[in-house]
């Protein structure tokens, strides 16, 4: 951070006074018993949804491929346990809209029979392309929340000759501790995953950024990384949103990622610690990504803590396992800052779900919004250096283009502005609304271009057809005339006058 | 011309299309001279006179004027007219000129006059233009006098002070000191007061309009038209 | 001839504007001719009227306007001095003088008798704050009459100031600069008169 | 599992699902706390009449706000409770002559909230600082009363009016001439306009001190407490240093230069910073959220503009004090400043273009 | 006295000639605004607005003869864009709650006559005679031209189903 920025009060982000991470983070990891059924969604990643390769009535084994990747940016889906496929179709998505998305419903047999897994003894001896292929086959996606498929990401890193991996152990959202748990209990797995990923990408160094409010995780990771000079454990200040890749990259490397570009453009690839652990399991044990550690937390939860749960478990079942001590006022998938409120509890978890929160009314209580007093708290808090108050004023006035001109596109939706706002304005929602509206307009524009093209093509075709018909008719007429002329020439007198 | 459209002209000039309160034209004289009711009245009457004559002149030559040079022609006509009025008042009605002289030069830059020439007189006949000029001018006079009275009352505690200088000694009964010993809110006579008073009068006009339309809605049969 | 077609021609447009300017300027020239003398007369009447305001009735029986003299003051400024005579005898001088007020110059008309005492003062032009500084106008306040009969000889120079500055003249509450400027203008006017008294009364013969 | 019945989940809302639970009233309350010591000190210096005026002004400001809200059919009590009208009235009261008559406070308080604030649409919408709008309106309208300063004779001093006597002063007649006095800036301006040099006027030293025992409004005498309150606001994170520091520097630097060049014509930097509304303006007036720029750079420009204009108006203008005018003038520029000076967005340069990627090697 | 009159007259002549000349040189050909608005429209000339194609609608908009909501195919976004362009106040009442629509063929009624194919301005309906027809979602503007063509009433307009991808947060209510 330059002196100018420091003088300008360059502390972005917020510092929640109570991050609610403990005691959940300190309780021992529990393994969730198998529920009666799982709904494994087909779209758990950025890109094209996976295509089912099983049919209703098929029996599946744990780790069996049930939906294959479609296209370059996609990820396959595997069965988290054994049972019978009882439905392939829409279930409610873990999304505030309550709209459905497609999922494969498996009724479990409880036997948890597994497919024979084939691990590799020394993944570092494999060709990088082979490592990437195995990562792809295991259906690994970014588990920090971005859900970008890891294999194409590694390929991109290799193509751009990325030298530095940044491993994201920021986990800055309050309440959540699943990454913390992974680092504490599976530090060796994480470090091994980092080494495999470095091999796959061809990176020379890896910087593991861990917020300094997780001393146990830092200690465990230091211990695990002791033998590897290329991997550095870097404690970073605990500040939200330290876990955002752009912010973490800046803190660790001192460089900013250009707007609209990926971190790879400055030679850095960011991966989450849980992703690294998953890569380790995929390569060493041949285990696909079908389960993960989920933090179940919130004031309404009786026994908050980290739970190893299969992907696709219903939130309802997960909460039943940890118990509720009171009726939650809001269910959230993810952290409280960026997580999605759930319409109800009959929604499945996904690969990137690091936490499920059952929040009480007291926890989500916020005073009614009042007028903006332009105090500038949001400007101070915005990690992207935007002016949320100005953007919100434009959105409110329906001036979406004006909002876009203030770089609304760069907004992370991290929620810092709304968190600090003394007027309790619904800033994030207004930005999401504006982004959605702008997106819809852009789509409409594309559509207009397409329909215009089609209409023009049709017009041209019709004109051509008409022309051809006219020419053909003219030709026919001429031919007929010629014929008649030749027929009439000998005996022209017979023509009626 | 039908009486109906005549009535329309009058209503437009005095209220519906009032130069000051609705069209927000002629802000320069409005702000500059409304420091008292008398000044407002004087400026309004002088403007009305010029407006009527200029409207009639322009309406009578409108067929000959090409659109490309109409603005300079109108301006030349108006400026000349104003200068003629100024000269003759100065020469033959010198007492009146001493009171009004300040305003008369201002009339040249009064965009309301050019505005009516452009918007009405160049499209209508001489009689209609004369009526329009009179109505608009009286509307202007009404607005200026009202503003002047409000500012004078708040700023100095009097009404129509020095009216006898403008209208003659017979009108000295109009001069009222409402609040004897009142020191006055000086700002009201200064430029900011002009803006403030204009703002509140505009708001007041809207309020009246709202009341009228609400009453019309309550009584009228066309309920559907009132929802907007 | 079709008017609509003609109107679109450049020559017509040029000619039209030329004709307009010709007619209007001609009208103005004629009006100017007709009114110029009347206007001049009215201006003279005005001046005469203000002159009489600072000269009490009966102080002069001549036409002051006809007896004007241009005198340069110490600052090199030309001052028009009108001289009053009674029975041919120099009886008063009237002239404009100015001082910088709160907002721009304050121009006063000052009448002085041969002994150097003020016969009357009127403010001709000023741009002082209305309601505050405009009490210097005779129409708004009697304040301006305080100068009458005062002379430089009559009291020490230090007393030619507002009370706040240790003088004898009132200031109005809240506005010191305006009365101070008027006092200064009168004082300097008297000094000017004293310095050129000989010249003024001499040439009156 | 009826605890998860969908009726029990009434609120599906956008993130974040957590917040700081702050409110506008908290902010206003903290500002008032910061202003309270200086005000109390002012009461101590100027006695009961000052308190009466403060009370009347604050009540009038609240009444004006309530009236407007009522007319616009908006909720009255919750809006009054946000404290902004109270703070506006308070800031106005501490910038008035402490012994001014009651009607000055009433007109000022009403003007501040009605015309300075509600006419623009209420809290957050006003273009100009309402307290300063009212102060300037009063100054322009009632120059005599607005420049009738008294010397601080204390709350309990021998000459000081008792409580009953103070009511007479505030609600009855005018301030006896015996009490009136001139502020430092006023005295300097008057003497300069008479042609008396400052060296001569202040031959016995400038009547400036940190204790603030001199004629002036409540907000300009106890400068030390004002500054302390301002620093407290910085520590509480309510304001940043940008506006106060740039404003005070922009007054002090030209003042120091002028004084060095011609001490007979220009007051020194200390006199400028410690007298008049400079401190109050820098910490409490110019930092008003609504009417100042939101970016740091913009705040620096804004503060510097306020300071420079203050010095220019004090030195060359018609009025002895220029903080209120300077702040209002810069308020008018705030939208322009906000448009021109935006914080640098992450990953972009100052002009808003994406930065060039630099490879990590 | 003659000199000023002559000077002013000459000045008038000169300026008049200049103005006349300038008016000719800088004359604006056609209406650029109308062209810009026509470019914003779907361009399918579907005629749903009741005017002869998108160009005519744009001309009507510029002339003030049509409201900003004239184009049903463009929906609310287009109406807003047009209103912004022309500085009109917008009353979305006529468009409210309708959202974008597309044509849908009811397969059990369709007789495969292929008349709708010819009527579609964007070739959005696929199929051949004696075959059940289908609608290409991307190409359909919801203009409804096919609805009137269909002899059996098998084609109707239905609102586009909302998906997770195009769902959007509502504009929040500020204080």
Strands, sheet with A355-359, edge to edge from the N-terminal-most edge strand: A30-31, A305-310, A291-297, A355-359, A330-333, A340-341
Name which residue leads in pLDDT, C56 or D308.
Answer: D308
Q: Is the dihedral of CA E65, E68, E74, E78 positive or negative?
A: positive
DSSP secondary structure letter of residue A14: B
Please say if the pLDDT value at position A492 is more than 50.
Answer: no
pLDDT at A405: 92
* Touching chains, D (3+ CB pairs < 8 A): A, B, C
Average pLDDT, chain D: 86
**Mutate which of A331, A366, A397 to test chain D, going by most D C-beta atoms within 10 A?**
A366
Q: Where are the domains of chain E?
A: 32-86, 101-159
Please report, for residues A239, D65, D113, D120, the alpha-carbon distance to residue D123 in angstroms, rounded to integers and kept in the order given: 32, 10, 9, 9
Pairs of residues, one from chain C and one from chain D, whose beta carbons lie less than 8 Å apart: 15
What pLDDT digit, counting tens, does each position of A4-26 carry?
445 444 578 888 778 899 889 99
Residue C172 banded pLDDT, cuts 50, 70, 90: confident
Q: Which of A388, A397, A396 is nearest to A419 (CA)?
A: A388
Q: pLDDT-based confidence at A203, cuts 50/70/90?
A: very high
Is E16 close to C15, i.e. CB distance below 8 A? yes
Decide which of B29 and A209 is more confident: A209
Model confidence over D68-112: pLDDT tens digits? 999 888 888 888 888 999 999 999 999 999 888 899 999 999 999
pLDDT of res. D130: 96
How confident is the model at residue B151, as a pLDDT?
92
pLDDT score, position C165: 75
Nearest to D343 by CA among A389, A392, A398, A338: A389
- Least confident range of A55-64, A130-139, B11-20: B11-20
Is a pLDDT exceeding 90 seen at residue B156?
no
C-beta atoms surrounding D19 within 10 Å: 22
CATH topology of domain E101-159: Alpha-Beta Plaits (3.30.70)
D168-193 tens-digit pLDDT: 777 776 656 556 667 788 788 777 77
pLDDT at C9: 83
Are E78 and A444 within 8 A, CB to CB?
A: yes
> Are A439 and D38 within 8 A, CB to CB?
no
Q: Do D26 and A422 touch (CB under 8 A)?
A: yes
The answer on pLDDT for A382 being more than 50 is yes
Minimal CA separation from D103 to chain B, in Å? 12
Judge whether residue D6 has pLDDT over 60. Answer: no
Residue D164 pLDDT more than 90? Answer: no
The packing angle between helices D48-71 and D163-171, to 10°, is 50
Cα separations (Å) of D57 from A290, D66, D88, D107, D140?
Answer: 69, 14, 9, 8, 18
* Structure-block tokens of residue B199: 């703002």
The two structure tokens encoding residue B52: 């009527």
Could you tell me which of C89, C87, C84, C72 has the C-alpha nearest to residue C120? C84
Q: Can you state the percent helix, strand and coil of chain A, rounding each to 5?
A: 40, 20, 40
Kindly report which listed range (A383-397, C131-145, D107-121) carries the lowest average pLDDT score: C131-145
Report pLDDT for A275.
96
Residue B214 has pLDDT above 90, yes or no: no
C152 half-sphere exposure, CB direction, 13 A CA radius: 17
Parallel, antiparallel or unpaired: strands A30-31 and C78-86: unpaired
The whole-chain average pLDDT of chain B stands at: 84
Which residues in chain A have their CB less than 8 angstroms from residue E175's CB?
Answer: 368-371, 423, 425
- Quick: pLDDT tens for A405-419: 999 999 999 999 999
Q: What percent of chain A has pLDDT over 90?
A: 73
Range ranked top by mean pLDDT from B124-138, C75-89, D345-359: B124-138
Residue with tokens 């799982």: A38
From CA E103, how far away is CA E83, in angstroms rounded? Answer: 27
pTM: 0.84
Distance from CA of B65 to the nearest CA of E (A): 11
CA dihedral (A362, A366, A368, A373) in degrees, to 10, reads: 160
pLDDT reported for residue B179: 75
- Beta-strand relationship, D149-150 and D180-181: antiparallel
Between B126-156 and B3-11, two packed helices, what is the crossing angle to 10 degrees? 30
Strands A305-310, A30-31: pairing kind: parallel
- pLDDT per residue as tens digits for the range D272-325: 988 888 999 999 999 999 999 988 889 999 999 999 999 999 998 878 888 999
Most confident stretch, C113-117, D356-360, E127-131 = C113-117
Token digits of residue A245: 């890749």
d(CA D49, CA D138): 19
Q: At what angle do helices D24-46 and D48-71 cross, to 10 degrees?
A: 150
Contact (CB<8Å) C103/D318: yes
CA of C99, closest CA in chain E: separation in Å? 38
* Look-up of token digits 């994406």: D354
Answer for the pair A160, A264: CB distance below 8 angstroms, yes or no. yes
Confidence class of residue A1 from pLDDT cuts 50, 70 and 90? very low
Amino acid A2: pLDDT: 45
Say if the Cβ atoms of E16 and B72 lie within 8 Å.
yes
How many whole angstroms separate alpha carbon D334 and alpha carbon A127? 61
The answer to whether A236 touches A218, Cβ cutoff 8 Å, is no
Contacts of residue D119 in chain B, CB cutoff 8 Å? 199
Q: Are C98 and C107 in contact (CB under 8 A)?
A: yes
Look at residue A13 in the predicted model and tell me its pLDDT.
86
Q: Residue A2: count other Cβ atoms within 10 Å of its Cβ.
A: 9
The whole-angstrom separation of Cα A428 and Cα A431 is 5
Residue D360 tokens read as 């990590």
Most distant CA pair in chain D, distance = 90
CB A242 within 8 A of CB A13: yes
> Quick one: pLDDT band at residue C164, thresholds 50, 70, 90?
confident
Comparing C-alpha atoms, which of C95, C125, C128 is closest to residue C110?
A: C95
User: Which residue from B minimizes the CA distance to C128?
Assistant: B190
Chains that touch A (3 or more CB pairs under 8 A): D, E
Name, in order, each residue with C-beta under 8 angstroms of C51's C-beta and a sequence gap of 6 or more.
C64, C65, C82, C94, C109, C111
Give strand pairing partners of A78. A65
Say yes or no to pLDDT of C83 above 50: yes
Tokens of A248: 């973490």
| Cα separation, D107 vs D57, whole angstroms | 8
Residues facing A38 on adjacent strands? A106
Question: What is the block-wise mean pLDDT of chain E (175 residues), using blocks of 10 residues?
Answer: 88 90 78 79 75 81 80 76 78 60 82 82 81 81 80 84 85 77
**How confident is the model at residue A59, as a pLDDT?**
95
How many other CB atoms are there within 10 angstroms of residue A230's CB atom? 14
Joined tokens for residue A145: 């929340």
Q: Do chains B and A touch (3 or more CB pairs under 8 A)?
A: no
Q: How many Cβ atoms are within 10 Å of A22's Cβ, its own excluded? A: 13
Domain boundaries, chain A: 1-31+118-287, 369-456
C94 sits in which H/E element: strand C89-100
pLDDT at C99 over 70: yes
Interface with chain A: mutation pick from E101, E122, E124, E142, highest number of A CBs within 10 Å: E122
Mean predicted confidence (pLDDT) in A96-100? 91
Closest CA to A248 of A223, A226, A269, A279: A269
Question: With the CA atoms of D296, D299, D300 and D301 taken in that order, what torsion angle do they form, in degrees rounded to the nearest 10?
Answer: 130
Look at B185 and D119 and tell me if their CB atoms are within 8 Å: no
The CATH number of domain A1-31+118-287 is 3.40.50.720: no
**pLDDT tens digits, D218-262:** 888 888 899 999 999 999 888 999 999 999 999 999 999 999 999
Residues of A in contact with D3 (CB under 8 A): 300, 324, 326-328
Stronger pLDDT, A450 or A279, i.e. the higher one: A279
Exposed / middle / buried, residue A487 (Cβ in 10 Å: 0-12, 13-18, 19+) = exposed
* Tokens (6 digits) for B214: 């609400």
- For A266-282, what is each residue's pLDDT tens digit? 999 999 999 999 999 99
Q: How far is CA A170 from the centre of its chain?
A: 17
Predicted confidence (pLDDT) per residue in B44-65, tens digit: 888 898 899 999 999 998 888 8
H or E segment at A7? helix A3-7
Which of A80-84, A420-424, B153-157 has the least mean pLDDT? B153-157
Between B66, B67, B92, which is nearest C38 by CB?
A: B92
Picking from C2, C7, C29, C172 by the largest number of B CB atoms within 10 A of its own CB, the best residue to mutate is C7
CB B23 within 8 A of CB B15: no
The per-residue DSSP string of E59-116 comes to HHHHHT-S-TT--TTTHHHHHHHHHHHHT----GGGGTTT--EEEEE-TTT-----HH
- Angle at the Cα of A300 from the Cα atoms of A298 and A303, rounded to 5 degrees: 75
**Beta carbons within 8 Å of C100's beta carbon, 6+ residues apart:** C106, C181
Q: How confident is residue D158, by pLDDT bands cut at 50, 70 and 90?
A: low
Query: Omega of the bond prior to A23 within 30 degrees of 0, cis?
Result: yes
For E32-86, the fitting CATH number among 2.40.440.10, 1.10.15.40, 1.10.260.40, 1.20.58.1880 is 1.10.15.40
Residue owning tokens 């309350």: D29
pLDDT of residue E172: 85
Contacts of B181 in chain D (CB under 8 A): none
Q: Are D147 and D169 in contact (CB under 8 A)?
A: no
Mutate which: B151, B155, B183, B185, vs D, most D CBs within 10 A: B185
Annotate A271-335 with DSSP letters as a single string: EEHHHHHHHHHHHHH---S-EEEEEEESTTBSS-EEEEEETT-BHHHHHHHH-BSS--SEEEES-
C102/D318 Cβ within 8 A: yes
DSSP D354: B
Dist CA A231 CA A226 (whole Å):
8
Q: Which residues from chain E sit within 8 angstroms of residue A96, using beta carbons?
A: 169
3-state DSSP assignment of residue B213: helix
Q: Domain-by-domain residue ranges, chain D?
A: 24-340
How far is residue C180 from each of residues C99, C170, D193, measured CA to CA in Å?
Answer: 9, 9, 10
CB D325: neighbour CB atoms within 10 A? 21
């Amino acid at each position: 951070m330059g002196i100018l920025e420091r003088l300008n009060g360059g502390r972005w982000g917020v510092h929640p006074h109570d991050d609610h991470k403990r005691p959940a983070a300190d309780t021992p990891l529990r393994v969730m018993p198998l529920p009666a059924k799982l709904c494994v969604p087909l779209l758990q990643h950025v890109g094209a949804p996976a295509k089912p390769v099983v049919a209703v009535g098929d029996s599946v084994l744990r780790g069996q491929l049930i939906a294959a990747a479609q296209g370059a940016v996609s990820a396959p889906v595997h069965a988290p346990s054994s049972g019978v496929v009882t439905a392939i179709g829409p279930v409610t998505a873990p999304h505030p809209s309550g709209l459905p998305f497609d999922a494969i419903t498996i009724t479990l047999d409880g036997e948890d029979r597994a497919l024979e897994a084939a691990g590799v003894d020394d993944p570092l001896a494999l060709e990088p392309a082979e490592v990437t292929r195995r990562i792809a086959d295991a259906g690994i996606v970014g588990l920090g929340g971005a859900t970008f498929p890891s294999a194409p990401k590694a390929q991109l890193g290799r193509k751009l000759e990325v030298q530095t991996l940044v491993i994201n152990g920021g986990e800055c959202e309050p309440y959540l501790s699943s990454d913390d748990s992974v680092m504490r209990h599976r530090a060796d797995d994480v470090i091994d995953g980092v080494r495999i990923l470095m091999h796959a990408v061809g990176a020379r160094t890896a910087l593991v950024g861990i917020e300094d409010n997780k001393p146990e995780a830092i200690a465990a990771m230091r211990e695990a990384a002791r033998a590897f000079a290329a991997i550095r454990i870097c404690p970073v200040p605990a500040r939200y949103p330290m876990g955002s890749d752009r912010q973490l990259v800046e803190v660790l490397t001192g460089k900013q990622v250009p707007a609209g570009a990926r971190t790879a453009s400055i030679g850095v690839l960011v991966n989450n610690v849980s992703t690294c652990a998953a890569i380790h399991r995929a390569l060493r044990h041949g285990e696909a990504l079908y389960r993960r550690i989920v933090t179940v937390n919130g004031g309404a939860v009786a026994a908050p803590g980290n739970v190893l749960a299969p992907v696709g478990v219903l939130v309802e079942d997960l909460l039943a396992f940890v118990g509720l001590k009171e009726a939650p006022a809001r269910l959230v998938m993810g952290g409280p800052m960026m997580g999605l409120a759930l319409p109800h509890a009959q929604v499945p978890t996904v690969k990137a779900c690091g936490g499920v929160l059952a929040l009480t009314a007291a926890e989500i209580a916020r005073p009614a919004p009042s007028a903006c007093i332009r105090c500038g708290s949001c400007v101070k808090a915005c990690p992207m250096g935007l002016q949320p108050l100005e953007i919100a004023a434009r959105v409110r006035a329906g001036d979406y283009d004006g909002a876009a001109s203030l770089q609304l596109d760069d907004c992370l939706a991290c929620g810092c502005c709304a968190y600090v706002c003394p007027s309790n304005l619904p800033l994030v929602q207004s930005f999401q609304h504006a982004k959605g509206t702008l997106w819809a307009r852009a789509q409409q524009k594309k559509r207009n271009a397409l329909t215009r093209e089609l209409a023009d093509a049709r017009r041209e075709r019709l004109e051509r057809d008409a022309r051809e018909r006219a020419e053909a008719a003219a030709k026919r007429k001429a031919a007929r005339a010629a014929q008649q002329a030749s027929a009439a020439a000998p005996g022209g007198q017979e023509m009626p006058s | 011309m039908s009486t109906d459209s005549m009535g329309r002209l009058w209503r437009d000039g005095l209220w519906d299309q009032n130069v000051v309160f609705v069209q927000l034209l002629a802000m320069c004289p409005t702000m500059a001279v409304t420091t008292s009711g008398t000044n407002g009245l004087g400026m309004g009457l002088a403007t009305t006179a010029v407006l009527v004559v200029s409207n009639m002149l322009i309406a009578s030559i409108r067929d000959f004027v090409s659109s490309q040079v109409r603005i300079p022609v109108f301006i030349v006509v108006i400026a000349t007219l104003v200068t003629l009025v100024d000269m003759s008042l100065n020469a033959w009605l010198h007492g009146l000129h001493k009171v009004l002289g300040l305003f008369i030069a201002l009339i040249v830059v009064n965009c309301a006059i050019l505005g009516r020439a452009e918007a009405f007189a160049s499209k209508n006949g001489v009689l209609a233009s004369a009526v329009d000029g009179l109505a608009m001018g009286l509307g202007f006079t009404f607005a200026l006098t009202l503003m002047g009275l409000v500012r004078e009352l708040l700023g100095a505690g009097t009404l129509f002070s020095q009216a006898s200088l403008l209208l003659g000694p017979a009108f000295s009964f109009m001069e009222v000191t409402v609040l004897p010993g009142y020191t006055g809110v000086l700002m009201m006579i200064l430029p900011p007061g002009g803006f403030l008073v204009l703002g509140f009068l505009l708001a007041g006009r809207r309020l009246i309009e709202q009341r009228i339309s609400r009453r019309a809605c309550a009584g009228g049969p066309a309920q559907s038209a009132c929802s907007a | 001839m079709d008017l609509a077609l003609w109107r679109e021609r450049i020559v017509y447009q040029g000619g039209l504007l030329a004709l307009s300017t010709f007619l209007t300027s001609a009208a103005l020239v004629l009006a100017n001719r007709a009114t110029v003398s009347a206007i001049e007369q009215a201006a003279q009447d005005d001046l005469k009227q203000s002159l009489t305001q600072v000269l009490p009735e009966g102080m002069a029986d001549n036409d002051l306007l006809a007896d004007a003299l241009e005198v340069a003051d110490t600052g090199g400024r030309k001052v028009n001095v009108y001289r009053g005579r009674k029975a041919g005898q120099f009886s008063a001088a009237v002239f404009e003088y100015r001082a910088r007020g709160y907002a721009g110059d304050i121009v006063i008309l000052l009448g002085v008798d041969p002994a150097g005492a003020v016969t009357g003062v009127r403010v001709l032009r000023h741009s002082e704050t209305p309601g505050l500084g405009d009490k210097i106008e005779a129409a708004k306040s009697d304040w301006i009459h305080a100068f009458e009969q005062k002379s430089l000889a009559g009291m020490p120079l230090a007393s030619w100031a507002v009370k706040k500055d240790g003088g004898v003249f009132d200031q109005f509450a809240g506005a010191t600069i305006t009365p101070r400027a008027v006092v200064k203008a009168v004082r300097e006017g008297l000094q000017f008169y004293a310095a050129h008294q000989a010249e003024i009364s001499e040439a009156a013969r | 599992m009826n605890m998860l019945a969908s009726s029990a989940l009434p609120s599906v809302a956008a993130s974040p699902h957590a917040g700081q639970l702050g409110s506008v009233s908290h902010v206003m309350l903290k500002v008032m706390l910061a202003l309270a010591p200086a005000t109390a000190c002012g009461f101590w210096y100027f006695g009961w009449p000052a308190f009466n005026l403060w009370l009347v002004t604050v009540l009038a400001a609240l009444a004006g706000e309530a009236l407007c809200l009522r007319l616009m059919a908006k909720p009255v009590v919750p809006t009054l409770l946000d404290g902004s009208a109270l703070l506006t009235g308070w800031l106005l009261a501490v910038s008035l002559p402490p012994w001014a008559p009651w009607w000055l406070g009433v007109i000022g308080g009403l003007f501040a909230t009605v015309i300075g604030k509600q006419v623009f649409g209420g809290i957050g919408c006003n273009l100009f600082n309402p307290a300063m709008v009212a102060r300037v309106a009063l100054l322009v309208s009632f120059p005599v009363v607005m420049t009738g300063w008294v010397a601080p004779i204390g709350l309990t001093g021998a000459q000081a009016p008792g409580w009953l006597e103070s009511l007479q002063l505030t609600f009855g007649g005018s301030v006896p001439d015996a009490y009136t006095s001139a502020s430092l800036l006023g005295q300097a301006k008057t003497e300069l306009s008479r042609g008396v040099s400052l060296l001569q006027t202040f031959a016995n030293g400038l009547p400036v001190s940190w204790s603030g025992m001199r004629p002036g409004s409540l907000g300009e005498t106890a400068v030390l407490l004002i500054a302390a309150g301002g620093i407290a606001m910085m520590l509480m994170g309510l304001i940043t240093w940008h506006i106060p520091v740039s404003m005070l520097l922009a007054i002090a630097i030209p003042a120091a230069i002028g004084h060095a060049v011609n001490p007979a014509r220009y007051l020194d930097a200390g006199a400028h910073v410690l007298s008049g509304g400079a401190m109050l303006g820098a910490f409490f007036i110019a930092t008003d959220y609504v009417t100042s720029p939101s970016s740091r750079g913009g705040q620096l420009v804004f503060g510097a503009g306020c300071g420079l204009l203050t010095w220019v108006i004090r030195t060359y203008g018609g009025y002895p004090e220029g903080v209120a005018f300077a702040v209002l003038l810069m308020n008018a520029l705030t939208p322009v400043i906000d448009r021109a000076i935006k914080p640098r967005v992450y990953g972009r340069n100052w002009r808003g273009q994406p930065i060039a990627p630099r490879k990590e090697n | 006295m003659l000199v000023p009159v002559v000077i002013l007259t000459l000045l008038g002549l000169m300026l008049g000639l200049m103005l006349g000349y300038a008016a000719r040189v800088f004359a604006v050909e056609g209406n650029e605004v109308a062209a810009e608005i026509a470019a914003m429209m779907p361009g399918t000339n579907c005629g749903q607005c009741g005017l002869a194609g998108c160009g005519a609608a744009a001309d009507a908009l510029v002339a003030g003869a049509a409201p900003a909501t004239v184009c049903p195919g463009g929906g609310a976004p287009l109406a807003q864009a047009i209103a912004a362009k022309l500085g009109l106040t917008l009353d979305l009442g006529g468009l409210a709650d309708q959202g974008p629509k597309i044509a849908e063929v009811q397969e059990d009624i369709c007789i495969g006559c292929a008349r709708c194919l010819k009527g579609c301005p964007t070739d959005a309906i696929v199929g051949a005679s004696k075959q059940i027809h289908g609608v290409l979602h991307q190409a359909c503007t919801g203009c409804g031209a096919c609805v009137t063509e269909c002899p059996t009433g098998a084609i109707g307009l239905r609102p586009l189903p909302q998906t997770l991808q195009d769902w959007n947060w509502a504009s929040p209510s500020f204080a």
